Amino acid sequence: MKNLDGKVSIIIPTYNEEKYIDFSIRETVRAFNDFGCKYEIIIIDDGSSDNTYQKAVEFTSRYNNIIVKKNRSNYGKGRALKKGFRYASGKYIVFLDADMDLHPEQLQTFFDIMKLDNADVVIGSKRHPNSRLDYPLGRKIISDVYFFLINFLFNLPVRDTQTGLKLFRYEVLKRVLPKILIKKFAFDLEILVNAHRLGYQIAEAPIVLTSQRRYGRIGLRAIYNTFIDTIAIWYRMYILKYYNR
């Protein structure tokens, strides 16, 4: 990535991550310094009730390429990412979860795939044959069920829409995000459905996923809301033709 033809903007949404935020920032800085490319980090605290924002501001005070912003309320990961994009100035945009389940050092492979496949979007995939996973069985079952639902409804040329590590060319998000309505978990799906609709090339990359917590944070309510949002995307796409307007 030392000869990368442009800057990378890494957007990190956070919510109640005061125990991990210093580590997350430190590891992201280390990874991109090792890559040797120009980069910026944009941290959006999504209305945390703990000291995530304060710790992030304090820790990043020594850096001039890190932006930290805070939402007044917890609107959802999707809205935080959308807000982060407003501050991005890179040719390439990375979505990175703050919990470090997916370490940013893996992004070298994403950029290699983008170049080799001439892709516009590269997404981490738990279903890639070369992926190595260490996370709760319950999350795996949920992921498998959701994959079959997505495949049935949208017939996307990808096998995993929800993994938090993603790489985009800036122009993809510039065209797609204005139409995005989902604020929470199905945000990734809405982006990919629309990127595919516009003819952008999407490629998948293998990941190494190591859960930093003993248990995942996906509850029944989140599953239900994701299902409802997924059906809403399908309805807007095929019935209302909203995205074509």
**Distance from C-alpha of 216 to C-alpha of 155, rounded to nearest angstrom:** 28
The answer to whether 201 and 190 have CB atoms below 8 angstroms apart is no
- Residue 134: strand pairing partners: 210
Identify the CATH class of 8-244.
Answer: alpha beta
**Distance from C-alpha of 186 to C-alpha of 191, rounded to nearest angstrom:** 9
pLDDT at 214: 47
User: Any residues with CB less than 8 A from the CB of 180 and at least 6 apart, and which?
Assistant: 78, 82, 187, 190, 191, 194
This model's pTM is above 0.85: yes
Provide DSSP, 34-86: HHT--EEEEEEE-S-SSSHHHHHHHHGGG-SSEEEEE-SS---HHHHHHHHHH
pLDDT at 116: 97
Mean pLDDT of all residues in 113-117: 97
Q: Residue 25 is encoded by which pair of tokens?
A: 């920032």
Residue 49 has pLDDT above 60, yes or no: yes
pLDDT at 220: 83
Mean pLDDT of all residues in 22-38: 97
User: Any residues with CB less than 8 A from the CB of 103 and at least 6 apart, and which?
Assistant: 27, 31, 208, 210
In one-letter notation, the amino acid at residue 124 is: G
Confidence of residue 98 (pLDDT cuts 50, 70, 90): very high
Share of the chain above pLDDT 90, in %: 85
Sign (positive/negative) of CA torsion 195, 200, 201, 207?
negative
Read off the pLDDT of residues 156-204 as tens digits, 9 standing for 90 and up: 999 999 999 999 999 999 999 999 999 988 999 999 999 999 999 999 9
Mean pLDDT of all residues in 21-31: 97
